[in-house]
Structure 1
Amino acid sequence: MDFTLGPDDTAFRAEARAWLDEHLVDAYAAAAGTGGPGSEHESIDVRRAWERELGRGGWIGLGWPDGDGDGDGEGDEDGDGRGDGRGDGRGDGGGYGNRRASLTQQVVWAEEYARAAAPARVGHIGENLLAPTLIAHGTPEQRRRFLPAVARGEELWCQGYSEPGAGSDLAGIRTSAVPDPARGGHRVTGQKIWTSLAREADWCFVLARTEPGSRRHHGLSFLLVPMDQPGRIEVRPIRQMSGTSEFNEVFFDGAHAEECVGGEGNGWTVAMGLLALERGVSTLVQQIGFAAELERVVRGAVTTGAVTDPVLRDSLVRQWAELKVMRWNALCTLGAVGDPGAPSVAKLLWGGWHQRLGELAVRIRGAAGAVGPYDWTPDVPYELDETQRLFLFTRSDTIYGGSDEIQRNIIAERVLGLPRESG
């Protein structure tokens, strides 16, 4: 792809920068830079309000296709920035309340969002995973029902995939669902784990076994479950060694699932399509955050004098160079829809890189990185500092979202055509 910016992209950048400067004020400005992996507990209420602010501006769902022709997904005629499908005041809004934007313009928005140090998104799962999945596999009615609410920043989503004993081996899930004759849809029973933002989410997309006696990837369905079901859904935070609890266990006890995406029994195809979407512009956004973390580590090395150590200095240069490589890889594969190796390569690159950055940050701090605050009181928990949190959280980077071993198997079998492991 040609990522040279043209006049339209330059104008789009100016518009995005002006909007952020105007709206990122007061409580939103105070929450700048909060949230994100390892810090999802920060400023939740403000960040949820910020999602609605982004929605009113039409900045959620950039590049989604037009609506399906009627209902909530239809744009209004005058494009006045409101109505059933908001434009941006120029009549060029998308069909679900979002703006039309090219891939280069989506990259521009990501860059400007990072430049402004805006709060970390709490609606990214709905925007970047659920929405593209509905666009690819959902019915027109499902798209009209769910996409406008995501675009308005009003409904948040979480992902119900991993289970105890079925994390990287997703085909081994045991959560089951049976038809609900009274209400339609399904009743879901089982347990999910490592569920980010489950306490904040309004909905969860759940991979469940709908065919009794089925095995592995057969007999699975992709279900949409409302989270507000007292007595039917219980969310238990998982305390991490970083001291935060952004992951959760979710227990379903006959919870009602309203919709099935892609048809009953086709859940594996839908689920794999969703996992292939965990790249692209969202990966570039992640890398912008990585660049900010690397900059803080470099500043720490300069402040402490650690930068004079040739070994540490070489490691810092290597981290910088590898981040540049990741960016160009992401840009080159941005339009690689259907490439089974692209998301696995991206995951291998950023997982190891981020973990090494956490290790490097602690090495630069030296002994001070291993101790708590000087005024710590026994039996009273204390907050980790930025470096400690980075180090501890990144231990999980090569595991969650698909372990390194699984990613290498995908590349070997689906890209290189090597034989599957025996046994």
Structure 2
Amino acid sequence: MPQMWPAPAADGPTDATVALPGSKSITNRALVLAALAEDPSLVRRPLRSRDTLLMAGALRALGAGVEDAGADWRITPGELRGPATLDVGLAGTVMRFVPPVAAMATGEILFDGDPHARKRPMGTILAALRVLGADVEGDALPFTVRGTGAVPGGSVTIDASGSSQMVSGLLLAAPRYGKGAEVRHEGPPVPSAPHLAMTVRMLRDAGASVETGPDVWRVQPGALRGGEFDVEPDLSNAAPFLAAALVTGGRVTVRGWPAETTQPGDELRHLLAAMGASVTREDGDLTVRGGSIHGIDVDLGDVSELSCVLAAVAALADGPSRLRGIAHMRGHETDRLAALTAEINGLGGDVRELPDGLEIRPRPLHGGVFHTYDDHRMVMAGAVLGLAVPGVEVENPGTVGKTLPEFGEIWAEMLR
């Protein structure tokens, strides 16, 4: 995609059926569990994107065999060892899931990533690893893990209000720790609860013994089994396509929508309905049909990855919106609250940043440059606005390759 992308305006209601690649969150969890298992594994229909290729590369550098050339990826566990230098890019799952694995390697492992990745919160999980017996130097990227071949494990208390990945990263490696791990959270609520449920379910499916309670997770030491991991379509990446149906007053169907899932994107069914869409699921496909766009007052703490697209829709609504519970988005790929405020207002909007979210009052919008700050969700938000606002130019759209390299092609096909 070009460095400056003229976001196509819709010339009528959409009428499209979309097939989306696999979930990044499931893919990267499956890769970690497969690398730590006793037997080889097959990850079926994984997402192939920058984040997942970075995860595959990191695990390969630590000694796992990862064959990622085909539609299904084969992972063969190997002896974890260094030295190695790992590039985490801007991927939260890589920077937070791999250090607990690297702590079990033998040798020195250096972690670094994109310039903005050095600003993302890491101190919580690195301090927790030290409590569990790991040798870690540094509190943010770049940092070094000096593996000694094993981690004692035990109990640790953290404040995971900045990201649920702080908990998930510790839990995924915990079965291989000498005593397992008990992780307790103290502080404001942990965001993205569905992602924690995803971690627990996938651990259990791989044979781990996991107990949970209010703000506590206990993983017993034990072997993880290999096998097959089936990756669902990425429901969070469905957000801009389903939003397009609402914005244009048309129809968009996403194929293969699971009947039951831990993916936060499943909440789109209810959120878009609250904003005026008609939503139905039939024969495994989810269909959204547009109508009038209504404002919404909602806590998005559990589904913050949907907030950028929903903010774009809210800017086009017939009434004001308040998106709450998303203060932690200031530590995402960029400060998403500041970015959304600046970019929507730059097109003539009226967005006010709140301590825990955004207040959006619709106003007539005009064309202009929509900056994306190397954030894939900002690209998607700009594309949604461009459907209804001629002249929107989205900066650096290629950054969407972080989780959906095919975005531009699927978007163009939807509009055709």
Judge same fold: TM > 0.5, yes or no: no
Query: TM-score, normalised on structure 1?
Result: 0.27
Structure with higher Rg: it is: 1
Q: Which has the higher helix share?
A: 1
Q: Which has the higher strand share?
A: 2
Query: TM-score, normalised on structure 2?
Result: 0.28
